[in-house]
Amino acid sequence: MIAEKNSVVSIVYELRSGSKEGEVVESLNSENPLTVLFGTGLLLPKFEEPLSGLKTGDNFEFLLNSEDAYGPVVENAIVHVPQSVFEIDGKIDENLMKVGSMVPMMDAEGRRMNGKVIALEGDAVKMDFNHPMAGNDLFFKGEVTEVRGATEEELSHGHIHAEGGCSCGSNGEGSCEDGSCEDKGSCSDQEGQSCGCGY
């Protein structure tokens, strides 16, 4: 069986930033493979293309240009937020407001997004809402560890089911009922697509 639309594909890989010689930013092994329902929009198209047609045991390596991954760094995604946003029960949470902290937030439309605290400036907190890998080319090298047909239930739900129930996480975490499917199963961009890396 090959990786094609509506098949369930598991892969392991090493992800490097920038090039084949770049810094390793993520490594998935057989204990925590990325497992997805292939060809259903869960992965970025340019990540899926080089995997399409591969079978169990096939190796792959490819470079995703930043434009096809998380895009360039967007200057207007770096914003000043009032310190009051960090208040819990009337008191500012100093742990969240540290430079380098990743803070989950919601935009005006209720979409979840993560921001990184990059500076404290008076009564404001400077935050970067770009993806941590924005502006970087991504080099993937790995292996397809399993390809199988999806079950009718997986097809109707639009995601894979791990042992023990419905799961969207590549390691069996998350469930349909608790709403965590939106956050699991490899990295999701702000439109809900995943690229393949665990960011």
Residue with tokens 């092994």: 29
pLDDT of residue 99: 93
**Distance between CA atoms of residues 110 and 25, nearest Å:** 30
Pick the CATH number of 75-128 from 2.40.50.100, 2.40.10.330, 3.40.50.720, 2.40.30.10: 2.40.10.330
185/7 Cα distance (integer angstroms)? 15
Residue range(s) in the chain whose domain bears CATH number 3.10.50.40: 7-70+135-183
Digits of tens for pLDDT over the chain (199 positions)?
A: 999 999 999 999 999 999 999 999 999 999 999 999 998 888 888 999 999 999 999 999 999 999 999 999 999 999 999 998 888 888 888 888 899 999 988 888 888 889 999 999 988 999 999 998 999 999 999 999 999 999 999 888 888 876 544 444 443 333 343 343 433 333 333 334 444 544 4
CATH class held by domain 7-70+135-183: alpha beta
Pairing verdict, β 59-64 and 78-82:
unpaired
User: Do the bridges between strand 59-64 and strand 112-121 make them parallel or antiparallel, or are there none, so unpaired?
Assistant: unpaired
Q: What is the pLDDT of residue 163?
A: 55
Domain(s) of CATH 2.40.10.330: residues in the chain: 75-128
Residues 6+ apart with CB under 8 A from 194: 36, 42, 43, 44, 185, 186, 187, 188
| Tokens 């100093």 belong to residue | 94
Q: What is the C-alpha to C-alpha distance for residues 100 and 58, in angstroms, rounded to an integer?
A: 39
Rounded CA-CA distance 179/104 in Å is 16
3-class SS at 16? strand
